Amino acid sequence: MKVPFVDLKTQYNSIKDEVRAAIDDVLENTAYVLGRHVVNFEKEFAKMHGVKHCYGLSSGTDGNHSVLWALGIAPGDEVIIPANTFIATAWGATLCGAKPVFTDCHPESYNIDPDKVEAAITPRTKAIVAVHLYGQPADIDRLKEIADARNILLVEDCAQAHLSEYKGKRVGGLSTASSFSFYPGKNLGAYGEAGAVCTNDDELALKFKMIRDHGSHEKYIHYSFGHNYRMEAIQGAVLEVKLNHIDKWTEKRRNAAKLYSKYLSDFSEVVLPVEMNYAKHVYHLYVIRLGSTDTRNKLQAFLSDNGISTGLHYPVPLHVQPCFSALGYRKGVMPVTENLAECGLSLPMFPDITEEQIEYTASIIKNFFNKN
């Protein structure tokens, strides 16, 4: 049996007619950037996440940048971010000329550890970026308490966490501002590059609108510096269609995670992901941990030999990336993050994965441990 890591084709086939009609509408109407579909999508997406404003952008990375740019993060400032995340989280700070300060993650949630955040704060700290990694929200209440007590901004990177919930509330409106990615493989994926920013703050919303469109909200008048971070109309149209299905796809991911837990729970060799008691996890990734790097690598090869594709998230943590060598971090200072990098393995996860594929994957893992 073949088990891909992600399968986008089955999902496309299930919405093919709707998506093609929506794209056709864009082509016929010749408004190829922003436009009606993007506006409708923004409205619906904001409503879905319980947040007042949403602006469609060209990528999640541009969202990471826009959030900190609009908040005035500048050279000399420090921004605390988890060492365990995708590199784009760090570009938010670096593109503003600020210094990223990395912190370790929590051993159960794998998200930024509030205790470590507290220890990393200096007089220059201006913002904390809570990444809701793998689809599980970070511990927002504790982070907010820490940030509010010191007048530091708290923002969210929701690139992997569409529709996920913290204490019953959807992510995206739990902090000053948030960014989302709609990269094709994300839980809500466009058919190309796309992202968004959200906020409840009217003034900040206007800044987002201007940053994405050359510092302007009025033709030919540029009130501030800006960029071209606008969402393409085709992506807005695709996302508008997909919003009608995202609830169902999210539940299918959660169900797949339940099945993995069911079939893998009797292996002491495998540490399964934990859904924290405050969280509704949406399983962008299903990351297990093994006892050693050697075991992880051998298991990954064995799964591959048996037709099962897996991933690593993330094999080189941010604090030891070559681009950040000038910051002077050493290997060894982020033990939880480094353990995930060395011993973590992401199993196949997508809404259309079948119970047979999950059971098969679990049985191959079982064979591996019986043999070794």
Q: Which is nearer to ligand PLP, 60 or 351 (CB)?
A: 60
Q: Which is nearer to ligand PLP, 307 or 311 (CB)?
A: 311
d(CA 331, CA 337): 10
> Would you count residue 337 as binding ligand PLP (CB under 6 A)?
no
d(CA 280, CA 19): 29
Helical H segments across the chain, by residue range: 9-29, 36-48, 60-70, 88-95, 114-120, 140-149, 202-212, 233-243, 246-264, 293-305, 335-343, 355-371
Q: Which is nearer to ligand PLP, 54 or 131 (CB)?
A: 131
Q: Report the nearest approach of ligand PLP to the CB of residue 11 (Å).
A: 18
User: Using omega within 30 degrees of 0 as the cis cutoff, is the peptide bond preceding 314 cis?
Assistant: yes
Q: Report the nearest approach of ligand PLP to the CB of residue 223 (Å).
A: 26
Widest pairwise Cα distance in the chain: 69
Which CA distances in Å does 112 have to 227, 332, 360?
A: 30, 17, 33
Query: Site map for ligand PLP, 237-276, x if CB under 6 A?
Result: ----------------------------------------
Part of the chain binding ligand PLP (CB under 6 A), chosen from 53-61, 105-113, 139-147, 218-226: 53-61
Query: Site map for ligand PLP, 147-166, x if CB under 6 A?
Result: ----------x-xx------
> Would you count residue 317 as binding ligand PLP (CB under 6 A)?
no
Part of the chain binding ligand PLP (CB under 6 A), chosen from 40-48, 80-88, 110-118, 210-218: 80-88
Q: Which is nearer to ligand PLP, 194 or 204 (CB)?
A: 194
Q: Are 302 and 319 in contact (CB under 8 A)?
A: no
Q: Report the nearest approach of ligand PLP to the CB of residue 111 (Å).
A: 11
> Would you count residue 131 as binding ligand PLP (CB under 6 A)?
yes
**R_g (Cα) of the chain, nearest Å:** 21
d(CA 243, CA 263): 31
- Residue 206: exposed, middle, or buried by beta-carbon count in 10 A (0-12, 13-18, 19+)? middle
Query: Site map for ligand PLP, 182-211, x if CB under 6 A?
Result: -x-----------x----------------
Summarize as ranges the residues that interact with ligand PLP (CB under 6 A): 59-61, 64, 85-86, 88-89, 131, 157, 159-160, 181, 183, 195
